[in-house]
Copies of this chain bind each other. A is one copy, B any other.
Amino acid sequence: AHAQSSVTIYGTLDAGIAKISGTTAQITKRDNNKLGFRGVEDLGNGLKALFQLEVRFEPDTGTVEAGSRPLFQGQSRVGLQGGFGTIRLGRGLTAYQEASVAFEPWNGLPTVSPSSTGGSIGPGFQPDLHVAGYTSDPLGPAGNSRNRFSNAVFYNSPLFNGFQVNLTVGAKEANGNAALIGRGTALAPQYPANSVPSAAPYSLSATYNNGRFGALAAYERNAVETDVWAVAASYKPTADLKLMASYQKQDQSHTMAANAETKAWVLGANYTVGAGKVLLGYGQKTPDAMPHTKQASVGYEHSLSPRTYVYADLSNRKSPPVANQTILRSYTFYGVGVHHNF
């Protein structure tokens, strides 16, 4: 009954071959793979209705993302936009997670987590070092992603001289989590299975961007009252070069009796030269009383068109193979592949 023009289909396919030192080569991805449906309706008087639904999937096996995530893992949101800003309801990236990717040299790529080998690693810093190991959704179902709120209200202010404020607030709804022991015991976990959040989770970010200079300040507290704050900045000395830096600190003292703080920082650069783009990054993560995780990455993207590029990455990461271990293991990651937007 509705015109075809009211929905736009978009997506990303990204597949490649990657190898981690000591393992065999694998077919994998570098970026998230998406199939999305979105639309905007002009309601008049500056008001708009908007929606977005985004399937995420694994290109190498054809399953939904990680074989376990919701059909519309990317997002499922609907709302209104006007002079007051944008307000949406549903599931999506939190205000902090959504704003932070602009300050990460791989622009928020997922960590590749091979199914058959130890060692979750990829060239980017976003899902771990760039957020100090923090997860936005500790009470989500097993296998869920780490940077979204379900059952949430999302607000974005209008842009005002380059400034914007974003707020996400989640409802205190249970969402099928596995038991989380925390400060409890195996018999009496702090958060039993299918728990209601002990406090409403929320996420707040403020951003500034004038084209040459960008900045972020953010604070988020999740459903088990772990919090994280972050500051980040970027600078473009020339149109071709973007430098970026971030610092973040996670506090898990609500669920951990000791070593509850984690600090992390990431430095990065993107340099565009003709059809090529060079990506560089270095970061460290420092949990209390644990060895530092250190990661250095270099990547190259070569555009075949505005929608398609091929890429190669090299990354080294030194980190404990298991949480709370004091020994470090060194992984080296090599990857090549193709990235296509539609």
A residues at B contact (CB < 8 Å): 1-2, 4-11, 13-17, 24-27, 33, 35, 37, 39, 41, 43-44, 47, 49, 51, 53, 55, 57-64, 67, 70-80, 89-91, 114-116, 150-153, 170-176, 194, 196, 304-305, 307-308, 337-338, 340-342
Contact = CB atoms under 8 A, between A and B. Distances in A.
B307 A2 contact: yes
Contacts of A5: 4
Nearest to A76: B62
Contacts of A89: 15-17, 27, 59-60, 337-338
Contacts of A35: 37, 53
A62 B308 contact: no
30 contacts: A1-B341, A4-B5, A4-B9, A7-B9, A7-B10, A13-B90, A15-B78, A17-B171, A24-B171, A24-B172, A25-B171, A26-B151, A27-B171, A35-B37, A41-B307, A41-B340, A41-B342, A43-B305, A44-B305, A47-B304, A57-B71, A59-B89, A60-B150, A60-B173, A61-B91, A61-B175, A62-B70, A62-B73, A116-B173, A116-B174
B1 A338 contact: no
A60 to B, nearest CB: 5
Contact of A91 (B60, B72, B91): B60
Contact of A49 (B7, B63, B305): B305
A73 B77 CA distance: 20
Contact of A76 (B16, B57, B78, B308): B57
Given A116-B194, A173-B27, A342 B63 contact: no
Nearest to A174: B116
Nearest to A304: B43
A63 B39 CA distance: 20
B340 A51 contact: yes
A174 B23 CA distance: 12
B27 A340 contact: no
Contacts of A25: 171
A338 B62 contact: no
A136 B268 CA distance: 44
Contact of A72 (B62, B151, B340): B62
Contact of A26 (B2, B4, B171): B171
